[in-house]
C-alpha cells in the first residue's frame, strides 16, 4: 500500500519562528489534505491541495504531485499553532490515508 | 454553519459491553466517513456512506463493528462485545459531494475507553 511519511516527527519552535513541514508519499494521489489536530483532538482543515500552492494567513502549502511531496509552511508561529499536523492522501482504494504526523510545540 | 458533531464525547465501557457512537454530519453533506485513531497515530479509515448506502466497509476491524445511516443523515457506529483493543478515538467526517476525493470535515471525535 501507499506510504506517507512526514518529517520532522517532532518540532519545537520559539514563538515567532518559521518552519517547514514535509509530507512524502510513495504513489500518485488525487487528493491531499493538511490538518491540524489541536490539543483537544479536533482535526482542523488547513488545506485541500492535490497540486499547486495555496496560502491562508500565516500558513501556506505547496504540493508537487509529480515529485510526490507536499510542504506546509508556518510563519511567525504562535503558541496556538501547537498540536499535531497531518497530511492525508487519497489512495488507489479511494480511502483517505493519513501520514505519521508532525508534533509541533511552540514555546513562548 | 454548524460543523460535524459527535456524541458522546467520552465513553467508558466495561469489556464485553455494547456501545453506540453517534455522528451528525454537516447538513446536506452526502458523504460520511468513520475513522479510528489509536493513541499517537493518525486516523485510519473504517467505513464510507454515500447517503444511506454503505459503499465501503473494508476498514472495519471485525464483525463486531457495525455502522448505519438509515436516512442518509445521522450515522451510528456500533461496537458489540467491546474489547480493550477497541479503545481509541472514533472520528466522523463528512463531505458535500458523492466523491471520495472531495474535502472532508471532521467532528471532535468520541474517545472510547474499554476497561
Average pLDDT for residues A50-68, to the nearest whole number? 96
Helices then strands, counting H and E runs in chain A, come out as 0, 11
pLDDT digits (tens, 9 = 90+) for B68-86: 999 999 999 999 999 999 9
What is the rounded average pLDDT for all residues in chain A? 94
Interface contact flag, A43 B56, Cβ < 8 Å: no
Residues 65-104 of B with CB under 8 A from A: 89, 91, 100-104
Closest-CA residue of chain B to A83: B40
- On the question of pLDDT at A92 being above 90, the answer is no
Smallest Cα–Cα separation from A30: which of A95, A72, A70, A89? A89
Read off the pLDDT band of A95 (50, 70, 90): confident
**C-alpha dihedral, B76 to A83 to A81 to A21, nearest 10°:** -110
Could you say which of B58, B89, B104 has the minimum Cβ distance to residue A96? Answer: B104
Cα-Cα end-to-end distance for chain B: 37
Q: What is the pLDDT of residues A19-55, one digit of tens each?
A: 999 999 998 888 899 999 998 899 999 999 999 999 9
**Partner A, chain B 28-67, Cβ-Cβ below 8 Å:** 33, 41-45, 48, 56, 58-59
Task: Tell me how crowded residue B18 is: count the other CB atoms within 10 A of its CB.
Answer: 12
Task: State the pLDDT at residue A10.
Answer: 97
Contact of B114 with chain A, judged by CB distance below 8 Å, is answered with no
Higher local confidence (pLDDT), A80 or A2? A80
Please report residues of A whose CB lies closer than 8 A to that of B58. 93, 95
Cα distance between residue B52 and residue B75, in whole Å: 9
Is A96 in Cβ contact with B33 (below 8 Å)?
yes
Q: What is the pLDDT of residue B1?
A: 55
Q: Is B105 on the interface with A (CB under 8 A)?
A: yes
What pLDDT score does B39 carry? Answer: 92
- Give the up-direction half-sphere exposure of residue B100: CA atoms within 13 A in the CB hemisphere: 21
Which residues of chain B fall below pLDDT 70? 1
pLDDT at A74 over 70: yes
Interface size between A and B, measured as CB pairs under 8 A: 50
Amino acid at each position: 500500500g501507499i506510504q506517507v511519511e512526514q518529517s520532522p516527527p517532532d518540532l519545537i519552535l520559539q514563538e515567532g519562528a518559521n518552519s517547514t513541514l514535509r509530507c512524502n508519499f510513495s504513489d500518485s494521489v488525487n487528493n491531499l489534505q493538511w490538518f491540524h489536530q489541536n490539543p483537544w483532538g479536533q482535526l482542523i482543515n488547513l488545506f485541500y491541495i492535490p497540486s499547486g500552492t495555496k496560502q491562508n494567513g500565516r500558513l501556506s502549502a505547496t504540493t508537487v504531485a509529480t515529485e510526490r511531496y507536499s510542504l506546509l509552511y508556518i510563519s511567525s508561529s504562535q503558541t496556538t499553532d501547537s498540536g499535531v499536523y497531518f497530511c492525508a492522501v487519497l489512495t488507489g482504494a479511494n480511502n483517505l490515508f493519513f501520514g505519521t504526523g508532525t508534533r509541533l510545540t511552540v514555546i513562548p | 454553519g454548524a460543523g460535524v458533531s459527535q456524541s458522546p464525547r467520552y465513553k467508558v465501557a466495561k469489556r464485553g459491553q455494547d456501545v453506540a457512537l453517534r455522528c451528525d454530519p454537516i447538513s446536506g453533506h452526502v458523504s460520511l466517513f468513520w475513522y479510528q485513531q489509536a493513541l499517537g497515530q493518525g486516523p485510519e479509515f473504517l467505513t464510507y456512506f454515500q447517503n444511506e448506502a454503505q459503499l465501503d466497509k473494508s476498514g472495519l476491524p471485525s464483525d463486531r463493528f457495525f455502522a448505519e445511516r438509515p436516512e442518509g443523515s445521522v450515522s451510528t457506529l456500533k461496537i458489540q462485545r467491546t474489547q480493550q483493543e477497541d479503545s481509541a478515538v472514533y472520528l466522523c467526517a463528512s463531505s458535500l459531494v458523492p466523491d471520495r476525493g472531495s474535502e472532508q470535515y471532521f467532528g471532535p471525535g468520541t474517545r472510547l475507553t474499554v476497561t
